[in-house]
Structure 1
Amino acid sequence: MTGSAFLEVNGVNKYFGSLHVLKDCSFSVTKGQTVVLIGPSGSGKSTLLRCLNLLEPPSAGSIAFEGREITGDLRNAHKLRAQIGMVFQNFELFQHLNAVENIMLAPMKVLGYSRLDAHDLAVDLLHKVHIPDRADHLPDELSGGQQQRVAIARALAMKPKLMLYDEPTSALDPEMIREVLDVMTELSADGMTSVCVTHEMGFARRAADRIIFMERGSIIENATSEVFFSGEASDRAKQFLNQILH
């Protein structure tokens, strides 16, 4: 690992009681990279992702963000999360607020934006995620793909330095998956640093700089996308790819 890593994970372990969920996980992310975590269900991918912004504090090991150790200062975890956007599987929008109001809320409450400035920012972000015409719609008036794009815009409204995605398309119908992945791909192409848990191998092949393959709480493989998909992956990774691609 390099000292210049934007995000550096070193020997992270996580226990839930006696259950050892993460086992000595180490990897680094450089600024502007897109890293995709893949692996079978129960391999620890989402838990590892949640450790990156301390939603799940590691039981052992360390995480450094922009060169600063963050795992020893849980009292300031809320400040860290203001710099790290996270998009979940199930949107988690406020049902009583329309799309633009969902996006405006955090900039006003956390960043001190005026209502007018927050509204302008929200409208810009709805353009960025390609649904400007849905600004006044409540979540239950939006498709699943539109709701997830509002959730992405809401995360972007905090001007994050890092985006985390936890299987953002797993709750979507097949025809809605592509519209969300297209937005994520555009953000990666624009230089947004991101770590994504997904089973969408087309997205991983298209957008990822690195692929991390996990199984039973351990990182089995950490390779460039080109190497991983070229047939040079480990036998276990090849077996997983064959299962998921066929």
Structure 2
Amino acid sequence: MFPLSPLSAEAVMTSPPRTTPAGKPLLEIVGIDKSFGSTQILKCCSLEVHPRETVVLIGPSGSGKSTLLRCVNLLEPADEGNVFFRGEDITRDLRNAPRLRREIGMVFQNFELFQHLSAAENIMLAPMKVLGLSRADAHDVALDLLKKVHIPAKADSYPDELSGGQQQRVAIARALAMKPALMLYDEPTSALDPEMIREVLDVMAELSAEGMTSIVVTHEMGFARRAADRIVFMEAGEIVETAKSDAFFGGTVNARAQRFLEQILH
């Protein structure tokens, strides 16, 4: 068995066993290929994600993890294959992108907050513009979500007055304000100082425990052990291994995934 970091050890002791939900998948990726010029980034990738499930994508840098997320959110159109969301083929009809992004929230490496708006106003903007909420109702939503991400006192603070971890939690709250059915996280802690990483991961783990369906690209193996129902290992554009979290970290992985874990955990 691979050794645990202190974060991982604590997480294993405090987290209940997780099981993969049954039934129809919320998201189904079937044979996705994606190239940029002559460079193929994704090679026949297939994956199912079920309601209330948290799937963590891991693998070396450049293995295609972020590109796979971007194909799901229609930020990049797939060249071949299909993406089904709630049974609907969403792969290439980019006219559907605005509607789908109401239901598929995404949190990026960089926080992408509007610098001239307060934390609350950043969260309020989409509910007012897209969902038609009044300013008062949107403000109530923002305050509730700031409580959820544990920074209620920062409602009136501007991004340059917030730490990186606080800004990323505002970004998570902003995505949650649209009441998405699926959350995508693209290495959400990679731009943070080490002392700020835990506060963001804690919020993400709480959302997963509450049943938010999520796909997370991360190098944080402690979070993966703590929150994931399944681990997906990618390398060179391919999905190499998919396994339940306890089996994956218990050592029952193929040689390529095992080499990656040995490098990242030592």
Do the two structures share a fold, i.e. TM-score over 0.5? yes
Query: Who is 1:41 aligned against?
Result: 61
Query: Who is 1:160 aligned against?
Result: 180
The reply on whether 1:204 has 2:224 as its aligned counterpart is yes
Structure 2 distance, partners of 1:6, 1:82, is 15
Q: From 48, 66, 71, give the equivalent of 1:28.
A: 48
Structure 2 distance, partners of 1:164, 1:13, is 19
The reply on whether 1:68 has 2:88 as its aligned counterpart is yes
Shifted more, 48-57 versus 115-124: the winner is 48-57
1:75 Cα shift? 1.2
1:5 Cα shift? 1.1
Query: Who is 1:11 aligned against?
Result: 31
The reply on whether 1:221 has 2:241 as its aligned counterpart is yes
Query: Who is 2:121 aligned against?
Result: 101
- SS of 1:5's partner is coil
Pairing of 1:65-144 with structure 2 (within 5 A): 65-144=85-164
Are the equivalent residues in 2 in contact too, given 1:3–1:67 (CA < 8 A)? no
Where has structure 1 moved over 3 Å in runs of 4 or more?
none
1:3 Cα shift? 7.8
Query: Aligned pair count?
Result: 245
- SS of 1:191's partner is coil
- Structure 2 letter corresponding to 1:13: D
Structure 1 spans left out of the alignment, 5+ residues: none
Deviations 1:33-64 (A, max 9, x none): 00000000000000001111110110000000
Deviations 1:8-55 (A, max 9, x none): 000000011111100000010000000000000000000001111110
- Structure 1 letter corresponding to 2:250: S
- Structure 1 letter corresponding to 2:24: S
- SS of 1:82's partner is helix
- Structure 2 letter corresponding to 1:78: P
- SS of 2:133's partner is coil
Q: Compute the RMSD of aligned alpha carbons.
A: 0.9
Deviations 1:181-208 (A, max 9, x none): 0000000000000000000000000000
1:88 Cα shift? 0.3
- Structure 1 letter corresponding to 2:84: A
- Structure 2 letter corresponding to 1:158: M
Are the equivalent residues in 1 in contact too, given 2:33–2:78 (CA < 8 A)? yes
1:74 Cα shift? 1.7
- SS of 1:152's partner is helix
Structure 2 spans left out of the alignment, 5+ residues: 1-21
Query: Who is 2:207 aligned against?
Result: 187
Deviations 1:93-129 (A, max 9, x none): 0000010000000000000000000000000000000
Are the equivalent residues in 2 in contact too, given 1:12–1:62 (CA < 8 A)? yes
Tell me the TM-score normalised to structure 1 length: 0.98
Structure 2 distance, partners of 1:72, 1:171, is 31
- SS of 2:34's partner is strand
Structure 1 distance, partners of 2:92, 2:75, is 14
Query: Who is 1:147 aligned against?
Result: 167
1:72 Cα shift? 3.7
Percent of aligned positions with the same letter in both sequences?
73
